[in-house]
Structure 1
Amino acid sequence: MTRCLLIDEDGAERRRLESLLSALGLDTALSSGADEAVQYCNDNAPEVVMVSAGTPGVQRGEFVKRLRRSARGKPPVVFLYAHTPDTDMIGSSILEGAADVLMMPFDHDILEFKLRQAGIIG
């Protein structure tokens, strides 16, 4: 089963996304902050990390850089935005290593398509 770390400071949104990810067959761990998430990645090496850009400690590419410095590899990263980002923000996120950018709100079908497109699910 594909392991996913979901990072979002909003508990209700975390539960909604966890439900979507579980329905797609991902084993999902939850985190509400960047430091806790980096420690989880060091210990568990998830195949995918999904993060809300508004999460404290996550600034554009800095979080991706921290993950890449982790001892357990380079998990793909998908940033989730709570608002519509501008093209500069999208570009900088991709350049810093984000695998994809999803605009919120999104539903099961969009999430499934993006995860398939990124090779996360078959």
Structure 2
Amino acid sequence: MTRCLLIDEDGMEADRLQSLLGALGIDTAKRAGAEDALAYCNDNAPDVVLLSAVGASERPGDFVRRLRRKVGGKQPVVFLYADTPDTEMIGQSILQGAADVLMKPFDHDILAFKLRQAGIVG
């Protein structure tokens, strides 16, 4: 089964995304902050990480860089999702290793399309 780590401080948004991911057959763990997320990745090997750009304690690109350094072996596919198209933040996140950015609001079909593009779901 595909495993996803969802990092979002907004519990309601995390619950909504967990429901969308569950409908795609993806097992999802939720974490609110970067340190908890990195600790989770040490003990588990998620296939994909969805990272909210809103309310993050650090810039998303910095987190992606830290994740890439910390996780050995198989690297998860990282998607950033955001409310506004901050081109600097998006560019830095992609330069540090994020696969793509989802602009909110997005629905089941858009999420499924992006995950198919990345080879996460069939």
Work out whether the TM-score is over 0.5. Answer: yes
Find the counterpart in structure 2 of residue 94 from structure 1.
94
Answer yes or no: is the 8 Å Cα contact 1:44–1:72 preserved in 2.
no
SS at structure 2 position matched to 1:78: strand
Measured after TM superposition, the shift of residue 96 of structure 1 is 1.1
Answer yes or no: is the 8 Å Cα contact 1:32–1:55 preserved in 2.
no
Paired AA for residue 47 in structure 1: D
Measured after TM superposition, the shift of residue 71 of structure 1 is 4.1
TM-score (norm 2): 0.92
TM-score (norm 1): 0.92
Answer yes or no: is the 8 Å Cα contact 1:34–1:55 preserved in 2.
no
Q: Could you give the per-residue CA deviations for residues 81-100 of structure 1, whole angstroms, max 9, x where no partner exists?
A: 1x222333322221111011
Q: Could you give the per-residue CA deviations for residues 22-43 of structure 1, whole angstroms, max 9, x where no partner exists?
A: 0001010011111000000010
Give distance in 2, aligned partners of 1:57 and 1:43. Answer: 22
1:38-117, aligned counterparts within 5 Å? 38-73=38-73, 74-81=75-82, 83-117=83-117
SS at structure 2 position matched to 1:84: coil
User: Which of 91-100 and 65-74 deviates more?
Assistant: 65-74
Give the gaps of 5 or more residues in structure 2. Answer: none
Measured after TM superposition, the shift of residue 57 of structure 1 is 2.6
Q: Could you give the per-residue CA deviations for residues 47-76 of structure 1, whole angstroms, max 9, x where no partner exists?
A: 100010124334131101111122443211
C-alpha RMSD of the superposition: 1.3
Give distance in 2, aligned partners of 1:33 and 1:86. Answer: 21
Q: What is the number of residues matched between the two proteins?
A: 121
Percent pairwise identity: 66
